[in-house]
Copies of this chain bind each other. A is one copy, B any other.
Amino acid sequence: MSADNQQGRLDKDWIVGFTDGEGCFHVAINKISGMSLGYQVLPEFRIVQHEKDEKVLFQLQEYFGFGGVRVNRKDKNGIRKEFRVRGLENLEKLSEFFRKNPLKTTKMENFELFSKVLELMRNKEHLTEKGLHRIATIASKMNRQVKPIFLRRK
């Protein structure tokens, strides 16, 4: 197996399988001053790898034509890097990819909740108290189901 054979454009099914294993759809709702409601909705997709595998992260970036590769964290096991996509426009293109090429694990359920949040944001619902509450409720069902700060307000 030469290095050359590992090069080249990724296959869509490979991307789906790798995302089923390593991908993360996440919606953060951050308390932030300067926003009309005091909270910012921040959806993002990321795939984290040890830096020794940063090549596939750059290949993902090249495949999609958006997103960035950066350091995720450093610890005793070395540096982890991530392919990260933010921004509604790019996330909607990503979402379109996974609608055409469905995930095979239960990560599909997270993706569907994530897509729902994107749809609400496209309709500007995150700018209303009611919409923000709806988004926070959806976000609380994703991943480890931690309740966003927004829903823990007194």
Q: How far, in Å, is A38 (CB) from chain B's closest CB?
A: 33
Q: Which of A28-71 contact B (CB under 8 A)?
A: 49, 52-53, 56, 59
Interface SS of A by simple majority? helix
Is A1's CB within 8 Å of the partner chain B?
Answer: yes
Contact B105 A20 (CB under 8 A): no
Contact B17 A13 (CB under 8 A): yes
Copies in the complex: 2
Cβ contacts under 8 Å, A5 to chain B: 102
- Separation of A11 and B108 alpha carbons in the complex (Å): 17
Cβ contacts under 8 Å, A17 to chain B: 11, 13-21
Cβ contacts under 8 Å, A133 to chain B: none
Which A residues are closer than 8 A to B by beta carbons? 1, 5-6, 10-22, 49, 52-53, 56, 59, 102, 104-106, 108, 112
